[in-house]
Structure 1
Amino acid sequence: MGRTIAEKILSEHCQREVRAGEIVVCDLDFLMAQDGTAPLAISSFEKMGVQRVFDPQKMALVIDHNSPSPLESVSNLHALMRNFAADQGVFLYDVGEGICHQLVPERGHITCGDLVIGADSHTCTYGALNLFSTGVGSTDLAAAMMTGKLWFKVPESIRIILRGKLPPGVYAKDLILHLIGKFTADGATYRAVEFSGQLVADLSMEARFTIANMVVEMGAKAGIFEADERALQWVTERCPRTPRVIAPDPDAYYLQTMELDVTQLSPQVAKPHQVDRVVAVDEVAGVRIDQAVLGTCTNGRLEDLEVAAAILKGRKVYPEVRFIVVPASRYVLLEAISKGIIEILIKAGAVLVAPGCGPCVGTHAGIPSDGFPYRNGSARGLGYIL
């Protein structure tokens, strides 16, 4: 029997053929931690009595969740990260550089066929590049910082074959929200979701990152796209290492195969207070909003800002609505400035926040008075994801 993409990548990284369900220890290509998880990882690493990170060229620390710092206590954690990075020689992306899940691929740290971990649940984003990436806890990351290895249970895989053409006004975010609604928030728990099909060639890399980013919202361990010329061009322009394209075998076993024709898909929205309460936007038409946020690791790329600017050009944000825009990285911000996108958004009334997580983390940069429970505000409001 053949193997899935997930099985092949994990096999390559433990130097033997493995199958779903096996427990394996694998070599890692890259590690990442952000300011919400790095301090505990650093503390745990130091408690182990280890002097040096296994390979400083294979690790990055990113200050993005509370960036710039809103509190003295947070500033001290940022200082801890800066000092550790300087001492160990690992990559450090400081305040304003952007959000970790944009920076790791954008700055050329990863390529096709890699095995990547990050102390953040949305590390699965990188699977858009035909690699296996997943989120881990800070203590697991600390062990990996010491050894360059980590244990995995090889996941079963779900195959999603995408067909058709997205209608005007319908985007990758609508597609992944629709899938989350179908699978529910735990319907793909500890599975690798592998994407293929004719539609993939039509999806920009920004769109693929958005889809891979959100597979964790249905419980998935990883989201992996098959590679094509667009993906190879994107990654070779950024990463100096040779990509290792991984394709599934024709007779690979999948726990489930779903074919989705997006031709009739409409704009989607996840209603409060669960990400899998997904309906067509028409069902919530007329709901009054107080704040809208565009950005972060899911929708803060240039393509997203371009769509918003096209809608708002020559128009104004409604007077009683706060529209917060958070570019995913400094590179994205600079490109948006050069294209006149930021000027359009600012003239329309948008509030520009420094590249990073912005209000998503719920600690600064636009916390609602009554917001998304347990996320970015108090527990008494309503938050819609679209």
Structure 2
Amino acid sequence: MGMTMTQKIMAAHVGKESVTAGDFIEANLDMVLGNDITAPPAISEFKKMGGRNVFHKDKVALVPDHFAPNKDIKSAQQCKIMREFAYGQNITNYFEIGEMGIEHALLPEKGIVVAGDVIIGADSHTCTYGALGAFSTGVGSTDMAAGMVTGKAWFKVPSAISFVLCNKPQEWVTGKDIILHIIGMIGVDGARYRSMEYSGEGVAYLSMDDRFTMANMAIEAGAKNGIFPVDHLTEEYLREHGKRKWSSYTPDEDADYDKIIEIDLSQIRPTVSFPHSPDNTYKIDDIPKISIDQVVIGSCTNGRIEDMRMAARVLKGRKVAKGIRTIIFPATQSIYLQAIKEGLIEIFIESGAIVSTPTCGPCLGGHMGILAEGEKAVSTTNRNFVGRMGHHTSEIYLASPAVAAASAVSGYIDTPENLEVI
């Protein structure tokens, strides 16, 4: 039986001709990632293991993005631990205030991760880099520490589900709507410890930003990773951003999949995930008028330049509804600068929104957008668990930037299709 894309990458990183689902392997790592929440305990474990030097100063990335800019003394201490370790180890890929960004947008943008890599990160949304045709997955801080010491990690080779995408999405339907649709279909454990492997002619209609969003939320279906084929669009992105050589892998014709699921993109409507689970999804057409208090547009899921452009397209010439706190977070400094150059920031501010430096703050209920008791938010982030963004009685509705921006204007969950043409 043939191999999937993920299995081929894993085989290459253990020096074998083939691996099979269920095999236990120790793979060589191309990148080990940590942030200001997960890296400090990993650094502590690194020292307990007797680590003196990281295995490769170019293959470790440290990004303080969750509680940075520091929201309090404890978060400042966490970042200090990272900073001292990064400078002490002469780590190349350390990005702090002024050059930082949300880690999963920053690393691809900097060309630090490329197609064919094996990447671990002490953050569950490390699976984002599968958009580039890499195997990337989240791990715990102890595994991160072991990776920094040895340059290796143990894996059980995952089986896979094949998602065959066909036809072209409707206007206003984005990668966020597609992945929410899929999670709603298979459930939050529907791909548990499997690869979500995308293929089909429909992939060509998805931008790289769409693919990053879909790979990012593979974990919300319980997947080990999500992965896209390396096509001309991927290669163009890698040439533009990449500093390293890459390797592309294609699945064998007789690759063994647990399931093959065909997705007709033309039939997907703007989709919203209701509290308190990402698989609690509804088409925009089936949603009653639900008043909201806050809108968040950004995060590692939807803070890229296309997301900014889409939000600006909806907000241009309009005003945010009275009382709706609308917070927009470009995911990196580069995206922020591009948004300034294109006049998007001016549109946001004139609409009544505020714009923040890159940070994960509101996504995990850390800072800069905490919800109070009983409040409701439409957010382009990735999770809507109880208490995720604030008070345990608050509610989060996950949506695309288009739906989030339209909701900010209307004051309730809405779609750009319902707004007056300007």
Which secondary structure does the structure 2 equivalent of 1:384 belong to? strand
Show the counterpart of 1:242: 245
CA distance in 2, matches of 1:282, 1:318: 21
Show the counterpart of 2:167: 164
Q: Does 1:65 align with 2:66?
A: yes
Q: CA deviation at 1:284?
A: 2.4
Once the two structures are superposed, what CA deviation does each residue of 1:345-375 show, in whole Å capped at 9, x if it has no partner? 1110111111121300211011010365231
Show the counterpart of 1:7: 7
Q: CA deviation at 1:237?
A: 1.9
Once the two structures are superposed, what CA deviation does each residue of 1:52-75 show, in whole Å capped at 9, x if it has no partner? 000010011001000111110110
Once the two structures are superposed, what CA deviation does each residue of 1:271-319 show, in whole Å capped at 9, x if it has no partner? 1111110111233231000000000000000101101111111110001
Once the two structures are superposed, what CA deviation does each residue of 1:196-241 show, in whole Å capped at 9, x if it has no partner? 1111112111110000000110000000001101101101222222
Which secondary structure does the structure 1 equivalent of 2:397 belong to? coil
CA distance in 2, matches of 1:360, 1:7: 32
**What letter matches 1:227 in structure 2?**
V
- The two structures have a TM-score, normalised by structure 1, of 0.98
1:92 pairs, out of 91, 94, 97, with 94
Q: Check conservation: 2:26, 2:154, Cα contact below 8 A.
A: yes
Q: Check conservation: 2:167, 2:264, Cα contact below 8 A.
A: yes
The 5-angstrom pairing of residues 208-227 of structure 1 reads 208-227=211-230
Which secondary structure does the structure 1 equivalent of 2:113 belong to? coil
Q: CA deviation at 1:170?
A: 1.1
CA distance in 2, matches of 1:146, 1:101: 22
**What letter matches 1:336 in structure 2?**
A
Q: Does 1:252 align with 2:266?
A: no
CA distance in 1, matches of 2:351, 2:50: 54
Show the counterpart of 1:379: 392
CA distance in 1, matches of 2:329, 2:26: 38
Q: Check conservation: 2:129, 2:135, Cα contact below 8 A.
A: yes
CA distance in 1, matches of 2:301, 2:308: 12
Show the counterpart of 1:29: 30
Q: CA deviation at 1:50?
A: 1.4
Q: Check conservation: 1:236, 1:243, Cα contact below 8 A.
A: no
**What letter matches 2:162 in structure 1?**
R
Q: Check conservation: 1:185, 1:275, Cα contact below 8 A.
A: yes
CA distance in 1, matches of 2:72, 2:244: 39
The 5-angstrom pairing of residues 98-177 of structure 1 reads 98-177=101-180
Q: Check conservation: 2:169, 2:205, Cα contact below 8 A.
A: no
Which secondary structure does the structure 2 equivalent of 1:363 belong to? coil
CA distance in 2, matches of 1:374, 1:42: 28
Deviates more, 1:373-382 or 1:342-351: 373-382
Q: Check conservation: 1:326, 1:358, Cα contact below 8 A.
A: no
**What letter matches 2:88 in structure 1?**
D
Which secondary structure does the structure 2 equivalent of 1:358 belong to? coil
In the alignment of these two chains, the number of paired residues is: 386
Q: CA deviation at 1:261?
A: 0.5
CA distance in 2, matches of 1:347, 1:62: 32
Show the counterpart of 1:78: 79
Once the two structures are superposed, what CA deviation does each residue of 1:239-294 show, in whole Å capped at 9, x if it has no partner? 22222111001111101100111112111001111111011123323100000000
CA distance in 2, matches of 1:363, 1:240: 33
Structure 2 regions of 5+ residues with no counterpart? 376-383, 400-422
Show the counterpart of 2:204: 201
CA distance in 2, matches of 1:285, 1:329: 35
Q: Check conservation: 2:35, 2:122, Cα contact below 8 A.
A: yes
Question: What's the RMSD between the two structures over aligned residues?
Answer: 1.0
Show the counterpart of 2:329: 326
**What letter matches 2:317 in structure 1?**
G
Deviates more, 1:172-181 or 1:365-374: 365-374
CA distance in 2, matches of 1:375, 1:381: 9
The 5-angstrom pairing of residues 341-352 of structure 1 reads 341-352=344-355
**What letter matches 1:92 in structure 2?**
Y
**What letter matches 2:9 in structure 1?**
I
CA distance in 2, matches of 1:121, 1:192: 14
Show the counterpart of 2:419: none
CA distance in 2, matches of 1:8, 1:224: 12
Which secondary structure does the structure 2 equivalent of 1:360 belong to? coil
Structure 1 regions of 5+ residues with no counterpart? none
CA distance in 2, matches of 1:136, 1:72: 27
Q: Does 1:337 align with 2:340?
A: yes
Show the counterpart of 1:288: 291
CA distance in 2, matches of 1:89, 1:384: 42
Q: Check conservation: 2:389, 2:396, Cα contact below 8 A.
A: no
Which secondary structure does the structure 2 equivalent of 1:199 belong to? helix
